[in-house]
């Protein structure tokens, strides 16, 4: 009786592994092709305060640093302020009014919904351009 022994390096085994990898890559490509990439609304300004790629990766750190400088050190600058971002990246509705972060078209939502990241800035801040002093007064008791 002759027994057939399959080794790990056999041509059949290698062919099966290669076919499996190719199929997995093909399916991954199809799955990725169906995922829409977020489209960010065009900003009003000519150039952002930082490079676009840098802002996509680091905007939260900049906003946190701005918050810490403002709240803990009393240093208020405009370069990386949330208000500055909202003034430049405002999206308006059909009646030419700025949309809030609850609207899918809001600038912040374009990426945050895609990445499934909760936006917590607007619990205290206004999500439309302008001074949010009135909002601070109502949410923080007049501070």
pLDDT digit string (tens) for 7-56? 555 777 777 788 888 877 777 766 656 666 777 788 888 888 999 889 98
* Percent of the chain whose predicted confidence (pLDDT) is above 90: 25
Contacts of 86 (CB under 8 A, 6+ apart): 107, 126, 127, 128, 129
pTM: predicted TM-score of the whole model, two decimal places: 0.61
Locus of tokens 């509705």: 93
- Burial class of 108 by CB neighbour count within 10 A (0 to 12, 13 to 18, 19+): buried
How far apart, in whole angstroms, are the C-alpha atoms of residue 139 and residue 124?
7
Q: Is the predicted pLDDT of residue 108 greater than 80, yes or no?
A: yes
């Amino acid at each position: 009786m002759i027994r057939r022994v399959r080794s790990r390096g056999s041509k059949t085994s290698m062919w099966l592994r290669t076919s499996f990898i190719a199929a997995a890559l093909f399916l991954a490509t199809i799955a990725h092709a169906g995922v829409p990439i977020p489209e960010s609304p065009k900003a009003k300004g000519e150039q952002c305060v930082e490079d676009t790629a840098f802002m996509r990766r680091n905007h939260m750190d900049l906003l946190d640093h701005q918050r810490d400088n403002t709240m803990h050190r009393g240093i208020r600058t405009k370069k990386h302020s949330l208000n500055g971002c909202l003034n430049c990246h405002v999206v308006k509705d059909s009646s030419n009014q700025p949309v809030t972060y609850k609207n899918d078209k809001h600038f912040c939502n374009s990426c945050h919904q895609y990445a499934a990241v909760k936006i917590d800035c607007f619990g205290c801040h206004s999500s439309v351009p302008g001074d949010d002093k009135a909002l601070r007064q109502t949410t923080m008791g007049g501070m």
